Amino acid sequence: MFKKNKLSNGLRIITVPMEGTKTVTVLVLVGTGSRFETEKISGISHYLEHLFFKGTKKRPNALMISEELERIGADFNAFTSKEYTGFYVKVPVFHLDVALDVISDMLFNSLFLSKEIERERGTIQEEIKMVKDDPPRYVADLFETLLYGKTPMGREIIGTPETVNSINRKELISYFRNHYVASNATLVIAGAIESNSAVKMARKYFQNFKEGKREKAIEICENQSKSKILIYPKQTNQVHLSIGVRGYDTKHPDKHALTLLSVILGGGMSSRLFISVREKLGLAYYIFSSPEFYTDTGYLTTQAGVDIKNVQKAINVILTEYKKIAVKGVSKEELKKVKDQIKSRTIMRLESSSAMANYFADQELLTENIQTPEEKFALLDKVKIEDIQRVAKDIFMNKKLNLVLVGPFKRKEEREFVKMLKI
């Protein structure tokens, strides 16, 4: 039961009333992220995300912003992805006015003071180090680097130490003015609200969102003709690997079949890969598969952490499961189980106003076509056994295989691993 409104400046407002909750989440998604950046300013979207919290005309420093939100017990933060940047505040519903006031103030009136820009360089440099010291997280970033190479999609969202050090105030403000326009944003208010009053309140704070044209991202060219590998040498006690294939974009008709396929392979403790790699062979503590759907590209990957002596064995088992599902397909019972699993997990997750806000926001921003949970469930129900096998045969091909390893290897060992990438 959502409603969609559009202000005269082009801002889309989605209101999602929810029963059984006393909270409300205000989420603003802006359609800019690292794939909109040139190499010279790589990381600028993420840099800007930090600076919005550093002071406005009304709240001149970071402490005044955080104190006002923490005084009302708010859960608040921001995030940057390849295709959008998000800002959210979750509060008890009687503090909705404050949440809208603060988040709009940050987006429209941030000062971007030179001293704060300089100070934040050091903070982001430490964040870069933290990411690289977290192999399970960093291996996922490197998988996209392997897939998309020296393109905006292949670069890390956070930028590099060099680009973060070189970005200046003029570039930050120029990027902000070009991308932070009303037509390039979606505001979602989800929770214990009444739609009309929520829209009225939102109009009060967001009617001055400046107008402008949306910037276009650089298109991705899918031209992989052979398997690829990337080794990131690092002294670790455990090798972290990500092995996967190119998949589909978010509007592809087989998106739901690929989602089901991913859950069958590695979506829980009863999934095929969890049973074969962990339960039967004890090769890994964690292993999972997941799909990624961007506006014009996508992939499926399996990630695991294993002992260095078991790396080759783990890779072979994963590839065997890939082949098995392409050759033999899945059973009727197995398909029903994962459909029920996805539905149940979605229902439970969407009991949270913050999850509900995210659910509607990215659909509207990226596709301008919102499907309710019930509509998505109906599409899942239409997926047949033969669809799963057809998709598996399409994606699980030798030329589409990609492998990233983070661990105590040398780059010259890549050749040996490439020989293994066969289904």
pTM of the model: 0.95
CA–CA distance, 23 with 354 (Å, rounded to integer):
9
For residue 54, how far is the Cα from the chain centroid? 24
In total, how many domains does the chain have?
2
Helix (H) or strand (E) holding 122: helix 114-132
Residue 213 lies in a domain: no
Residue 372 contacts residue 116 (beta carbons within 8 Å): no
Q: What is the DSSP letter of 225?
A: -
The answer to whether the CB of 55 falls within 8 A of the CB of 67 is no
69 strand-pairing partners: none
The CATH number of residue 79's host domain is 3.30.830.10
* Residue 21, domain member (yes or no): yes
Question: Which residue in 19, 37, 39, 49 is the catalytic one?
Answer: 49
Please give the share of the chain, as a percent, with pLDDT higher than 90: 95
Tokens at residue 109, please? 């009136």
Give the per-residue pLDDT at 28.
98
Looking at every residue in the chain, the average pLDDT score rounds to 97
| Partners of residue 229 on adjacent β-strands | 403
Of the residues 206, 241, 272, the one at which a domain ends: 206
Q: Please give the DSSP secondary-structure letter assigned to residue 110.
A: B
Do 355 and 394 lie in a common domain? Answer: yes
Asked whether residue 223 is domain-assigned, the answer is no
> Same domain, yes or no, for 275 and 183?
no
**Domain boundary residue among 175, 206, 237?**
206
Q: At what angle do helices 44-51 and 114-132 cross, to 10 degrees?
A: 120
Confidence of residue 412 (pLDDT cuts 50, 70, 90): confident
Beta strands in 297-377 (DSSP E): 298-306
Residue 49 is among the residues annotated as catalytic for this protein:
yes
- The domain in which residue 63 lies consists of 3-206
pLDDT at 404 over 90: yes
Residues 73-102 have pLDDT tens digits of 999 999 999 999 999 999 999 999 999 999
Q: In this structure, what token pair is assigned to residue 327?
A: 């050759």
- DSSP letter, residue 155: S
Angle among Cα 326, 330, 336 to the nearest 5 degrees reads 140
Residue 4 CA, chain-centre distance (Å), reads 24
- Distance of CA 119 to CAs 19, 115, 123, 174, 370, Å? 43, 6, 7, 20, 40
Chosen domain end from 206, 236, 259: 206
Q: Is residue 212 part of a domain?
A: no
Structure confidence by residue, pLDDT tens digits, 113-166: 999 999 999 999 999 999 999 999 999 999 999 999 999 999 999 999 999 999
Same domain, 157 and 288: no
Strands 12-17 and 185-191: parallel
What does the pLDDT read at residue 1? Answer: 86
Instruction: Give domain status of residue 215, yes or no.
Output: no
